[in-house]
């Protein structure tokens, strides 16, 4: 019983520790990359492309096949030992080995191998793109959680501060220094700040749920994040123009590489289809032997053994096979046309992805510049309002200001601090996106 209780206690503690785990940003990203379903699908697509590449390479090698059969014959059949027909029941066994290699087929095999290699590279880029998208989404959601956490904490601090102020006001009203209306104003503001805290806490829970869902975790219970050191990053990236960042992105963004590989693959497909009009030449070889139970030695009349028959009947052949396409119901012409249309479609797709990337960088640059301006303005606003609030609080404490004037200053400072906090996280994320487009890894 002691051991059972100890085991139950250990299991309970293990679950409790797991439930209270605090997640760093890196842990969140790593967990999402390992468990995201879209990434797993991209990994499978890559493995399929690698298998196709292996098949394409193998098709250029000579084939080798072994076969064997054992037959029971009844009725009229050919006795190949005497080359006469017989009605005798016989047993026949054959063992064959054959090989074949394509010498020329319009370079279809070689271009198919080249195409499969391009498809592997494209699949790798698709996998990287999926990983980048997941990473960006997790970072954005993680920062939203941090913003919500600080917002809820600030709202709670304002509730505590106003509650203390309410107590002070109540004493001043009781002493006759302030009218009762001042106390009612403070109590109203406390209730309003309590509502703000509830709203902030609900928003925090919603952002936590979004992050948990991105990580493919079933429950948000016990999920907590550890705030990283998210000081404002270097803002040198903002000195670059969208065109400069786009030029760098063309060389590092996986969706661009992927569309380039698919375009080259489509070009190979067109060349493969055109090769269907060329003759194909192959070299084949065959070795075989056989045995029949009715074989007799023509001199002694004795049965010939299995091993002797296999030795005596061993035969080989080598030959060339030439196939010239003449007419196949427009199958080849149709394939060529479809391959050419596929190549043109891939070209349009490549241009569409490039245009989309440029627009995204333009928007990201504009958002980052706007975020910087908003952050700088918010900093100035908070600095001025904090100083004003300190002065207002002192005057209110000695009865030189009304509660309405004090509450207005308190509310203005709270709004400004909230705006500054939001501007800070928004600026961090916008700069990280620009740095990512410029070729920097997604790290904090």
Mean pLDDT of 132-160: 88
Q: Are residues 318 and 359 in the same domain?
A: no
Query: Mean pLDDT for the chain?
Result: 88
Mean pLDDT of 247-252: 95
Q: How confident is the model at residue 431 (pLDDT cuts 50, 70, 90)?
A: very high
CA-based end-to-end distance of the chain: 50
Percentage, residues of the chain above pLDDT 90: 56
Q: Are residues 46 and 148 in the same domain?
A: yes
The single-letter DSSP state of residue 303 is: B
Q: Are residues 250 and 178 in the same domain?
A: yes
Q: Are residues 300 and 169 in the same domain?
A: no
Q: How confident is the model at residue 15 (pLDDT cuts 50, 70, 90)?
A: very low
**pLDDT, tens digit, for every residue of 177-209?**
767 877 887 788 889 889 989 999 999 999 999
Is residue 208 one of the residues assigned to a domain?
yes
Q: Which residue segment(s) compose the domain that 351 sits in? A: 22-61+106-278+328-437
* 8 Å CB contact between 24 and 227: no
* Alpha carbons 157 and 193: distance in angstroms, whole number: 10
How many domains, in total, are found in the chain? 2
Q: Are residues 46 and 81 in the same domain?
A: no
Calculate helix-pair angle for 108-174, 180-214, nearest 10 degrees: 160
Q: Are residues 380 and 247 in the same domain?
A: yes
Is residue 418 one of the residues assigned to a domain?
yes
Mapped onto helix, strand or coil, the DSSP state of residue 155 is helix
Residue 147 pLDDT exceeds 80:
yes
Residue 347 pLDDT exceeds 90:
yes
Q: Are residues 85 and 210 in the same domain?
A: no
Is residue 295 one of the residues assigned to a domain?
yes
Q: Are strands 84-86 and 280-292 parallel, antiparallel or unpaired?
A: unpaired
Q: Are residues 167 and 206 in the same domain?
A: yes
Q: Are residues 250 and 310 in the same domain?
A: no
* Alpha carbons 34 and 31: distance in angstroms, whole number: 5
Q: Is 132 left (phi over 0), alpha (psi -120 to 50) or beta?
A: alpha
Read off φ and ψ for residue 135, nearest 5 degrees. Answer: -60, -45
Q: Are residues 300 and 167 in the same domain?
A: no
Instruction: Please tell me whether the overall predicted TM-score, pTM, comes out greater than 0.85 for this model.
Output: no
């Amino acid at each position: 019983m002691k051991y059972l209780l100890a085991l139950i206690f250990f299991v309970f503690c293990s679950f409790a520790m797991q439930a209270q785990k605090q997640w760093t940003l890196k842990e969140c990203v790593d967990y999402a990359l390992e468990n995201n379903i879209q990434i797993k699908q991209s990994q499978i697509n890559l493995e399929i492309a690698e298998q196709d590449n292996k098949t394409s390479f193998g098709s250029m090698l000579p084939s080798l096949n072994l076969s064997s059969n054992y037959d029971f014959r009844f009725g009229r059949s050919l006795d190949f030992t005497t080359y006469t027909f017989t009605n005798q029941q016989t047993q026949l066994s054959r063992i064959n080995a054959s090989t074949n290699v394509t010498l020329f087929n319009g370079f279809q095999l070689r271009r198919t191998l080249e195409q499969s290699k391009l498809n592997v590279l494209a699949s790798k880029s698709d996998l990287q793109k999926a990983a980048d998208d997941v990473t960006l989404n997790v970072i954005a959601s993680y920062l939203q959680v941090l913003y919500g956490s600080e917002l809820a904490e600030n709202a709670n601090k304002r509730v505590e501060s106003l509650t203390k102020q309410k107590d002070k006001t109540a004493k001043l009203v009781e002493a006759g220094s302030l009218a009762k209306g001042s106390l009612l104003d403070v109590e109203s503001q406390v209730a309003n700040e309590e509502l703000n805290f509830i709203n902030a806490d609900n928003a925090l829970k919603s952002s936590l749920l979004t992050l948990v869902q991105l990580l493919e975790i079933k429950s948000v219970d016990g999920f907590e994040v550890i705030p990283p050191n998210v000081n404002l990053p270097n803002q040198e990236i903002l000195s670059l123009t969208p065109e400069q960042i786009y030029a760098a992105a063309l060389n590092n963004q996986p969706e661009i590489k992927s569309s380039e590989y698919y375009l080259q693959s489509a070009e190979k497909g067109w060349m493969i289809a055109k090769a269907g009009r060329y003759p194909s030449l192959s070299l084949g070889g065959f070795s075989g032997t056989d045995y029949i139970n009715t074989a007799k030695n023509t001199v002694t009349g004795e049965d010939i053994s299995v091993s002797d028959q296999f030795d005596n009947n061993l035969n080989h052949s080598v030959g060339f096979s030439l196939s010239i396409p003449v007419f196949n119901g427009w199958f080849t012409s149709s394939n060529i046309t479809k391959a050419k249309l596929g190549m043109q479609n891939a070209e349009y797709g490549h241009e569409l992805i490039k245009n989309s990337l440029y627009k995204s960088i333009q928007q990201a640059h504009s958002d980052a510049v706007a975020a910087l301006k908003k952050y700088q303005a918010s900093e100035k606003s908070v600095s001025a309002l904090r100083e004003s609030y300190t002065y207002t609080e002192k005057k209110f404490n000695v009865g030189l200001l009304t509660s309405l004037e004090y509450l207005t200053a308190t509310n203005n400072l709270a709004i400004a601090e909230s705006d500054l906090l939001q501007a800070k996280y928004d600026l961090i994320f916008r700069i990280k996106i620009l740095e990512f487009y410029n070729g920097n890894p997604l790290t904090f």
